[in-house]
Amino acid sequence: MSKPILIVADAANTAGIEAVRRGFSKKLGRDFDFELVEDPKITGGFIAIVDGKVYDASFSTKLHDLSDALGEDDAESSDPAASSFQTVGSILRKRAATAAAGARVYDYGEVTSFSDGIAKIRGLTGAKYGELLDFDGGAVGITLDLDETGVGAAVIDGAVSTSSVVHPTGRVAEVPVGTELIGRVVDPLGRALDGAELKVRKTRPVEAKAPNIMQRAPVDTPLETGVLAIDSMIPIGRGQRELIIGDRQTGKTALAVSAILSQKDTGVLCVYCAIGQKQSTVAALARKLSDSGAMKYTVIVSASASTSAAMQYIAPYAACAIAEEFMYAGRDALIVYDDLSKHAQAYRTLSLLLRRPSGREAYPGDVFYLHSRLLERAARLAPELGGGSLTAIPIVETMAADVSAYIPTNVISITDGQIYLESELFSAGQRPAVNVGLSVSRVGRAAQSKAMKAVSGSLRLEVARYRDMAVFAQFGADIDSATAEMLRVGEALMELLKQSEQRMYSLSEQICLLLASSEGVFAKYPKREIREAVVRLLLFVRTNAPIVMRSIDGAGKLEDFDREDLVRCFSAFHAEEAKTADSRGGA
């Protein structure tokens, strides 16, 4: 601990210096041996620097405060001929208040070392974990390590040099929030990255407590992604936490972006958080969302790979705070974390630089808490709290399909289910490459509309059965006619579940396709023609049964008479297809 310093106007005033020494000994309970510094500029009194705190009882500071206060009184007086007695009385009152306040105490620290974005600071004994720090030169940091002699801080933005003075701010990290952010690309500190000016009126702490059990409502309202394979077999509800997991280049981001695109005209506001992504990737995503009209209800929070580990560390918490503002305002919100693997790596980097003990895969022991306190903030609020919801879709990248690695198993245990994307299926052209056997939604059918429940009951079982039988069939084993028919129907079903990134299905279109599949409409086509038949069928149904489609989209139900109308429409479609085939054959 550094030697305490006492700054006085006259070092020869031994009686005054001894009085200050006795006062500090009585106040702090130990003897002091001050290093004396003479500075006539302080006029009188003293300035003491003890244990990282500055005790300013100098006359110069008090006179400055008195001058400011007196100036305020003069400014408040509207009468230029105000009584001199009033002025003298004001001076006496201000002087009395200043004297009663005693020495002004404020904390400070000094940077002893800085490397790789981590600053070791001597002093700041009153700093709190997660508190923002101001460095000389304009840099901003956040405290992540506390010990007896000082703190360890991660520098979020700016450059720091050794011996820089650090001042605590007394507040935790905050981010601007509100509807002003919709349509914008910002960094985790709320600064615009899209080149336009950004003005906001409100901020929220990036760290916040998750809603407790009594503040939550059941998850029973579907969040439709527009992806047939997801909405029919692995449904997501508003307020749910559904993980997307898989190897690199298996369509994880594409699936999450499809969920954002499908929220058009649903009233759901979206936040996309890019962690450690290339700036060109984020720019391409912003263009795609803008071209699709999705930026009208989306906020992008980006901490690119070129930013500091500290910036990547706070990025998902800042994005969550932005989305929480919508939830607590009674709105429905969707947030995508892309991805939490890079977030954990950034936190591991900070922890190792802070010399914290490492554990499995060199991650610190609190890496589970890192993500649990983030994902637990997703919820559907009770009606008395506005009934808003925050749905979280975190993304985790695996290596060589190892779902038993540390971070994947952690996040799987925190979330309400996972969508597993398999490299083999992706390479085989099955996109989205959803492995139905390893994917699950723990909310399940409670998050499905009644119409979807009516037509998708056995779909998951049929897909799993087909994949099991396809494994035996690929070895050329002899199969009976029933098995061959099941394989043919399964192949048609897998073709039906293929879907491009640009094509999102509405609820009525999904119901139409699944009902058509159960009625055997696509079994009449060769495998290579099914996707074209899907396009023609949807166009035919929208043209000939628009009322039925609007009814399904509006009510979310499939009434018996609607089902009968769709089945008749399928028959008419089959007849027209046969007529068209005959005309082509005749030609």
Tens-digit pLDDT profile for residues 116-150: 889 999 888 788 888 999 998 888 999 999 887 78
* 274 three-state secondary structure: strand
**What integer pLDDT is reported at residue 91 of this predicted model?**
43
Q: Is pLDDT larger for residue 77 or for residue 485? A: 485
* 186 three-state secondary structure: strand
* Residue ranges of E strands in 444-543: none
488-518 pLDDT tens trace: 888 888 999 999 888 899 999 999 999 999 8
DSSP 269: E
d(CA 132, CA 43): 34
Using the predicted structure, report yes or no on whether residue 77 has a pLDDT greater than 60: no
For the chain, give the mean pLDDT.
Answer: 86
**What integer pLDDT is reported at residue 195 of this predicted model?**
87
- DSSP for 391-441 reads EEEEEEE-STT-TTSHHHHHHHHHSSEEEEEPHHHHHTT-SS-B-TTT-EE
**What integer pLDDT is reported at residue 80 of this predicted model?**
43
Please tell me the CATH code under which domain 231-448 is placed: 3.40.50.300
**What integer pLDDT is reported at residue 106 of this predicted model?**
64
d(CA 75, CA 215): 50
Q: Of the given ranges (291-295, 367-371, 522-526), which has the lowest mean pLDDT?
A: 522-526
Q: Is pLDDT larger for residue 218 or for residue 110? A: 218
Residues 343 and 399 sit within 8 Å (Cβ to Cβ): no
DSSP 262: T
Using the predicted structure, report yes or no on whether residue 50 has a pLDDT greater than 60: yes
Once rounded to an integer, what is the mean pLDDT over residues 445-450?
A: 88
Preceding omega of 339 cis (within 30 degrees of 0) = yes
d(CA 86, CA 70): 11
What confidence tier does 346 reach under pLDDT thresholds 50, 70, 90? very high
Using the predicted structure, report yes or no on whether residue 79 has a pLDDT greater than 70: no
253-304 pLDDT tens trace: 999 999 999 999 899 999 999 999 999 999 999 999 999 999 999 999 999 9
**What integer pLDDT is reported at residue 100 of this predicted model?**
38
**What integer pLDDT is reported at residue 102 of this predicted model?**
54
- Where in the sequence numbering do the catalytic residues fall? 442
Q: Which two tokens stand for residue 581?
A: 């085939």
Once rounded to an integer, what is the mean pLDDT over residues 146-156?
A: 87
**What integer pLDDT is reported at residue 477 of this predicted model?**
62
Using the predicted structure, report yes or no on whether residue 462 has a pLDDT greater than 50: yes
d(CA 1, CA 125): 11
What confidence tier does 60 reach under pLDDT thresholds 50, 70, 90? low
Using the predicted structure, report yes or no on whether residue 52 has a pLDDT greater than 70: no
Using the predicted structure, report yes or no on whether residue 94 has a pLDDT greater than 70: no
Once rounded to an integer, what is the mean pLDDT over residues 79-93?
A: 44
What confidence tier does 68 reach under pLDDT thresholds 50, 70, 90? low
- Indicate if the alpha-carbon torsion angle 129, 131, 134, 140 is positive or negative: positive
- 492 burial class (0-12, 13-18, 19+ CB within 10 angstroms)? buried
Using the predicted structure, report yes or no on whether residue 415 has a pLDDT greater than 60: yes
Which of 3.40.140.10, 3.30.565.10, 2.40.30.20, 3.30.70.1350 is the CATH number of 108-174?
A: 2.40.30.20
553-585 pLDDT tens trace: 999 999 999 999 999 999 999 888 888 777 665
Q: Which two tokens stand for residue 410?
A: 């952690």
Q: Is pLDDT larger for residue 246 or for residue 585? A: 246
**What integer pLDDT is reported at residue 101 of this predicted model?**
46
Give the domain ranges of the chain: 5-106, 108-174, 231-448, 459-586
Q: Is pLDDT larger for residue 321 or for residue 71? A: 321
* Domains 108-174 and 231-448 equal at CATH topology level: no
Using the predicted structure, report yes or no on whether residue 394 has a pLDDT greater than 70: yes
Using the predicted structure, report yes or no on whether residue 81 has a pLDDT greater than 80: no
State in words which class domain 459-586 has: mainly alpha
**What integer pLDDT is reported at residue 150 of this predicted model?**
83
**What integer pLDDT is reported at residue 92 of this predicted model?**
39
**What integer pLDDT is reported at residue 61 of this predicted model?**
64
Neighbours of 517 (CB within 10 A): 22
- DSSP for 209-241 reads PPP-GGGB----SB---S-HHHHHHS--BTT-B
